[in-house]
Amino acid sequence: MAPPEDAPAGVPAHPLPHSVRGVFLNYIGYWRPRFFARPSARRPAVDYGDLDFLPLYSRGYNSILDHCNGLLLYGNAWLYCVANPATRRWERLPRMDANDYVPYLVFDPALSRGYEVLLFRREPEKPKKFDLIEFLSLLDDMSVGEEDVENEGQDEPAGEPSMDDLHRLTEWPQSQWTLPVFSSATGEWQERSFVREGEAVKTMASMQLDAVQPMEWGPRWRYSVYWRGALYVHCRGAFVARISLSDGKYRVFNTPIDFEESKHACPYLGKSEKGVYFVTIHKYNNLLRVWNLSESSGPIDWVLKHTIELDESTLWAATRFYQHEINGPWILEDNNNDDVENKMVPLKEDIEWNSDDNVMSNQGGCEEPYGHIYFLGFHPYKEVIFLGLSFIGVAYHLNSSKVQYLGKLRPKDYCTAYSNGIYESFMYTPCMVEELSKTPP
């Protein structure tokens, strides 16, 4: 891959990671993340899921917070570490009380050696000076002003509200959006402002942002995508923010589903073969819809690519068919179960996920009661999605509707309870960049 034309002068560009090695998983009420992956046939094998070199990894309930092009963001609101599992190097970021924020990691070895972490508020920040009483007062004043014919022709009193004032009180976000940003180049947190392009979200739409409640099931926070120099963040409500880090500009646009539908369809923003994708799985009928973001010409628009009625019995039949034969081509890496021995089984030298192994056509099935289907992630370079059925992982080929059984997702020391499940999942693409400073002792 040739270095991009806009690569910083004097900085050797690295090719982007281009292979999927597995999925990092956060579990509800479980003490650490786990790695679900195809075992390595190379010697010595690289255990990407072994993060014991990170501080407090074996103590406390820390999580994988984000992944971007081979780097992981790990920790909690008071501890952020950026790590490269492929090189086992890591850095601890300066302490930042970020309890009210969600962090997003940005890293592109094809453009720069450095990385950045941006913090977004969990709840959208209300416009400055916004107050419900003031808002209603403005409406009353404007109404009175329209009916007050006696004052017609007189100069407008200083401070009398206008329609522009009303819009400024109700738009989200405002013309300038300021975020805490950590840069590996400076080694410190700084406030960075981004100027809005295009229209803001107006009036009732902005109020709905605060009305959105956490979903009954699904991730604790929204996902992001870093694509061609811009960070796309799925905000609370039915909106996506596109942050351009190169020119300090941003814009906000709608997701392909509206506010009401987002209450019943679990959404996921991700990256796949043709850039930024958005997927929903409806809570009640397992209707899967997949959109691709189009920015090539004209306004930003979502293009519906797939509408699929997921058949639980078919997916379950595919998993049962192979589950009796093998544990699965992928295993949940664990230092306290027997699956570790499977790492020594010789496999193909190319340990990139093989999309032709254990494939079953989406035809027929078996009647079996089952819980909801949830989304694990997109394959970054193929139109394939990864799904979970309880604690079973499967791959679903969007273009052919073929189902592939991958393996079991439940750790053996994870107790069985109604509330158990997977919180977040991050597709992992290893990168051999050696820019992080620390190595384990």
Q: For the segment 403-438, what is each residue's pLDDT rounded down to a tens digit? A: 888 888 989 888 877 778 898 999 999 988 766 766
Query: Residue 194: what pLDDT?
Result: 95
- The band of 185, judged by pLDDT with boundaries at 50, 70 and 90, is very high
- Confirm if 74 and 63 have CB atoms less than 8 A apart: yes
Q: What is the CATH number of domain 22-127+171-428?
A: 2.130.10
Lowest mean per-residue pLDDT among 78-82, 162-166, 256-260, 344-348: 344-348
Q: How many residues does the chain have?
A: 441
pLDDT tens digits, 284-295: 888 999 999 998
Residue whose entry in the numeric block shows the structure tokens 């416009």: 127
pLDDT tens digits, 377-404: 999 999 999 999 888 899 999 998 888 8
pLDDT (average), residues 79-95: 92
Query: Residue 300: what pLDDT?
Result: 87
- What are the structural domain ranges in the chain? 22-127+171-428
Beta strands in 85-223 (DSSP E): 89-92, 101-107, 115-121, 176-183, 188-196
Examine the pLDDT at 92 and tell me if it is beyond 90.
yes
Examine the pLDDT at 225 and tell me if it is beyond 90.
yes
> Nearest Cα to 278, choosing from 242, 331, 330?
242
Which position has the higher pLDDT, 67 or 209? 67
> Nearest Cα to 142, choosing from 102, 179, 170?
170
Query: Residue 71: what pLDDT?
Result: 95
pLDDT tens digits, 265-274: 888 999 999 9
Lowest mean per-residue pLDDT among 88-97, 248-257, 415-424: 415-424
Query: Residue 334: what pLDDT?
Result: 61
CA-CA distance, 81 to 33, in Å (whole number)? 14
Examine the pLDDT at 359 and tell me if it is beyond 50.
no
Max mean pLDDT range (106-115, 169-178, 309-318):
106-115
